[in-house]
A and B are shown apart, each in its own frame.
Chain A
Amino acid sequence: MLTVIAPPGSLAARIASQVEASTSLPKPCAIVDAMPTTRAAPLAELTNADFEAGCIASLADLAATLANLVPEHRHIVLIGTNAGLGDWDAALAGAFAAGAVGLMRSAALEYAGEGVTMNYIALPSSDAALVPGAAAMAGALLAAGSVNGQIIVCDGGAHLRMRAARPRSAALPAASPQA
């Protein structure tokens, strides 16, 4: 049985669909959307409202979601980003992602004794091409139940290039032409 806490059509929802179609889950499991909802912008342009929505409300919502899932759901996978490693225009996305990981690891520690596992799949973007690989990883984590409190970066090793450390013009993709 798989519980999906994700907006319809989201990357997490699509990953969950593939897991349901391909993996037999003997115990109640859950896939939770942990993608940041904040806008990408340089620090100086971020408003108090951006911070409130992008970090305070979203992390409190995620905490409430996880609290409602444990301990009945034995294995839980969060689908988030690797923005916590640091990136351009990602002050709030990075804070949210790292905060979500901290939350996940604390909950994993707290409920490990009851047989609950919780892990975090970190994706570099919302690109649909990432779904098959992430779904295979999520299915393995949910089915095995022996990995706990871990962050699995599913980006084909792209973060090894340390693109974020380059100057802005080389790190960010060119803006799309405006219609």
Chain B
Amino acid sequence: MLPHALVTGGAQGIGRAVAETLAMGGWGVTAADRDEIALGQAAEQWQGIDAAVLDVTNGQQVAALIDRLPPLDVVVNCAGIAAELLPLKDISREAFERMLRVNLGGTFFLAREAARRMERGAIITIASRGYLGGAGAAHYVASKAAVVGLTRALAVELRWRGISVNAVAPGMVETRMINDFTADMRARLSRLEPSGGPMPPSTIAGAVAYLASDAGRMLNGQVLMVDGGKSLGVVPC
């Protein structure tokens, strides 16, 4: 039987690239997403990837899906949202909580339900370079920093069961999330990137595939910064 991976947020962007990269690498893959239309469109082009509709903020849905799948070797939570830049005082409680429910809650529920069922393997979370801090994005940063804290705690707990837990922290990636930004914001963010603009989702998928590999599972509790060095703080001006 092929090793099996569950990838959430799998219809588009980083999640889709991860699903396709793992499938090309010989994995059995289930790509889950709450966007049924986007999932259907992607599935038309897939071979060897199963599609499943899933809302990662619903722990019961996550549990039910995993119960239907073959035993999992790897889970990757790519489902996530961003938001327009807002001053701290202008972020509503509703917006703050929604950010946490999707970005952190999705990671928590997937990890919990997978860990309850996995014998060994890897849990891979998607944080963001932004977890180090960002003006005007307090809710997004808090959610991604919390993902990192969760990742490290789970790594401590699950390593003794043969499950590695690591995070990938992407810099700016060419996804719908970025394309939803205004042209001005997109240009401003691009100027801060060492490479001059966003990287393709396949770059992040490569990092995830490494963490899913036998060699990558020797890492544990780490945050793999895939940001072209932006986190070094050296910004050309």
Chain A residues with CB under 8 Å of chain B are 42-44, 46, 48, 51, 55-57, 59-60, 63-64, 66-67, 70, 83-103, 105-111, 149, 164-165, 167-168, 171
Contacts and interface: CB of A to CB of B under 8 A. Distances in A.
Contacts, number: 150
Interface in B97-117: 97, 100-101, 104-105, 108-109, 111-112, 115-116
Interface in B139-156: 139, 141-150, 152-156
B93 interface: yes
B149 A59 contact: no
Contacts of A171: 156
A103 B138 contact: yes
Interface residues of B, number: 46
A63 B221 CA distance: 26
A44 B146 contact: no
B100 A56 contact: yes
Contacts of A57: 97
Contacts of B134: 106, 109
B108 A51 contact: yes
B5 to A, nearest CB: 20
A100 B148 CA distance: 12
Contacts of A110: 87-88, 135-136, 138
A113 B158 CA distance: 42
A95 B104 contact: yes
A93 B141 CA distance: 17
Contact of A106 (B116, B135, B148, B157): B135
Given A56-B97, A98-B148, A107 B88 contact: yes
A88 B109 CA distance: 18
A89 B150 CA distance: 11
A86 B152 contact: yes
A94 B97 contact: no
A59 B89 CA distance: 15
12 contacts: A56-B104, A60-B93, A63-B139, A63-B142, A91-B154, A93-B153, A99-B146, A103-B145, A106-B133, A110-B138, A149-B133, A165-B156
Given A60-B100, A91-B154, A149-B133, A101 B88 contact: no
